[in-house]
Structure 1
Amino acid sequence: MTLLALLRHGQTDWNFERRVQGRTDIPLNDTGRAQALVAADTLRGGDWTRIVASPLRRAEETAEIIASVLELDAPSTHAGLVERDYGQGEGVLVADFFARWGDGPVPGAETLDELATRAHDAIAEVAAVAPAEPTIVVAHGGLIRSLIGLATDGRLPAPGERLENASVTLFALEDSGLELVQYTTASA
């Protein structure tokens, strides 16, 4: 069994503006850096031995801050942990995104099924490197939401729930599958 703490990156200016980021590489803002420090304190004492991040700068910088505070080796990156590709939806205000496309397909976007498969494959690869080592994984809201959905057969996240920046969701990855251990959200 591998214990995985999936952490959403800290806030960016686009998060603050409520814009869809997707794979657009937006850096952390000062609030996001402060959130990473708080997240590190939350994770302190968890016997974490390594940290892996999405290669997008907002996730990688969050991981670097956490690794420094927890005195872990520098984070490695895994390309499979990048955020969902939102196609034409990237950069659009969240309200406009839902008004334009709702739950329907977005031109040029990665489908939710494609995202779920990629997310599961990525964390399985991360876990396979050191299966007995508790690992922090810094990634993105859409990717983590897809894993929550996989682990709960779609029961969670509920409509209107969102993952806060720098929130931590705990999973156990076993031969039998992915198990949700701890889940925290806020209403939209």
Structure 2
Amino acid sequence: MFPSIMRFSLATALTVGMSAAVAAPVTYELDPSHSFAGFSYPHIGLSTQQQRFNGAKGTIVLDTDAKTGSVDVTVDTTSITTGHDGFDKHIQGPEFLDTAAHPTATFKSSKVIFEGDKPVAAEGDLTIKGVTKPVTLKLTSFASKEHPMAKKPAIGANATAVIKRSEFNASKFVPAVSDDVTLVLVVEAIAP
């Protein structure tokens, strides 16, 4: 009888120990006051223009033990701010973002790539103007810590990718205005 109680206790201890060692995925909600998307592009050989969308929302799920995750971000393309109202309307027009027909752009990852304990990229699908293409967002920075004000787990990251705007039906003025556009995603996200 003693050996069977011992086996049961050992099996229970191992099961409890193993479940404690396996961390569950954590879902983080984007903080809209510290998350945004932007883009830059060479303009007629004179400068590199940088523009920003003010509206970004979504979730990031990370399981650092399993080294898996997902990213789901929606950007309000009508929230573009170039610093000039007339140019905002121009970029929102049908030849570029066509925000009347497509008021959002999305990135939905199929895979988060880790190096060691840190995510370094997210592979997924980018949809702009109803066109979906595979894109890899490369993280240029990543941090994970307790949020000092919210007192909850939080993450932050900056990510970039280069796309061809002609692949998303936005090729007006190519090649005078570069076809290559660098996308930027800046996020801070907090666990509920």
Q: What's the TM-score once normalised by structure 2's chain length?
A: 0.28
Larger Rg: 2
More helix as a share of residues = 1
Higher relative contact order (CA 8 A, sep 6+): 1
More strand as a share of residues = 2
